[in-house]
Every structure is written in C-alpha cells, then in structure tokens.
Amino acid sequence: MKNLIIAAAAATALTGCVPDEPVQQQPQGVSFATKAGFDTSRIIGRETVSIQTSIPQKRGIATWEKALPGSTCTAESNEIIVANFTTPAQVVLPVVRGRPSAMRITCQNGAVSGGIQRQPILIESNASANSALEQDNIVAGIIVGAVRAGQERREARANDAWRYIEGAAGLSLK
C-alpha cells in the first residue's frame, strides 16, 4: 500500500512537469549551393548557423518576439544560395578566403514576411604586422612601415578567412 501511495504521488508530481506548449519543431539541416562563376577553391571550411523566425507580440506596453516555426526562407549572397528551407533550420555555410558579399535572408509565413542583410565577418587576417620602430630612423621607419603594411595588406586581403554569419540569425516577420 505504501508503494502504491508513493507511485501515485510520483505520477502526480511528474504531470506538473509536462509543458503546456507543444514540442518545438526540430531544426531542419540544409546546405548551400555555389553560384556560377564562384571559385570553389576559396572555400576553406564550413560552419553551421541557426536561422529562426519570430513575430512581434504586444500586450499593453509590453512587447516581445514569439517563435514562428514553419517559415519558408532563402539565404543568398553573390557567391552562394540556400534556397527554400523551413525554419527553424541549421544551415551549413562556407568559410571562404577573400571577403564575400553580404548575405541576404528573406522569409515568409502566410501573410507575414521579412528579411535581413548581414555583412561578412573577418575571422582571420593574414596581413603581417610590421613594426616601424624596427628601423634606425623613426620617421623613415614610419613611412616605410606604412607603405609596406599597405602593400602587404592588399596582398593578404585575398587570403583572409571570412564567415557569412556567426552563430545564429533571427528574423522578425511582420
């Protein structure tokens, strides 16, 4: 009898742990395709980013964003495209050498839609840091160092590592 009472108490306690909201949709995994003319040798790695959509809510003076799964989205730059994925999504994007163009993400869910544009993020610069103070003449060293740094920076720019989006992107649809 004692075991039956403990089991009934445990079952009652556990029913309070069940969430009122439905289980969140598992993120869909999708990858990119390169556009014609893009030099795929620039791809040096891949990263997965989370893309989610939400819709603004308001009650009185309080405002917040409510998750809006099931939105149809496209992510696109001049170099790549990730077409027709559904949020929430885990999107695989390339890490590239040389600065890519901005990433545009557009989504629609019924009558609401929205979009964002993200500039690429520099991960690693291969430009060497020259110290002008290594020269005997400080003024000449500053001038020579500035000229040399500018030349090296232009040469290294093509080898810098860039990512399109860091971590996650959220879109508020209206």
Query: Does a structural domain hold residue 58?
Result: yes
Residues 88, 32: Cα–Cα separation, whole Å: 16
What confidence tens digit (pLDDT) does each residue in 117-173 have? 999 999 977 654 333 334 445 555 566 566 666 655 555 578 899 999 998 999 999
The pTM (predicted TM-score) of the whole model is: 0.69
Number of structural domains, the chain?
A: 1
Residue 4 lies in a domain: no
Domain assignment present for residue 87? The answer is yes
- Find all residues with CB under 8 Å of 127, minimum gap 6, and list them: 149, 152, 153, 156, 157, 160
- Phi then psi for 65, rounded to 5 degrees? -105, 130
Residue 13 lies in a domain: no
The number of C-alpha atoms within 13 Å of 22 and in the hemisphere containing its C-beta is 6
Over the stretch 110-132, which tens digit does the pLDDT of each residue have?
999 999 999 999 997 765 433 33
Give the contacts of 71 (CB within 8 A, at least 6 positions apart).
53, 86, 87, 107, 108, 109, 171, 173
Print the domain residue range for 63: 27-172
Domain assignment present for 80: yes
With respect to residue 105, please indicate whether it lies within any of the assigned structural domains: yes
164 belongs to a structural domain: yes
Residue 104 lies in a domain: yes
Which pLDDT value is given to residue 140? 56
Length of the chain in residues, anyone? Answer: 174
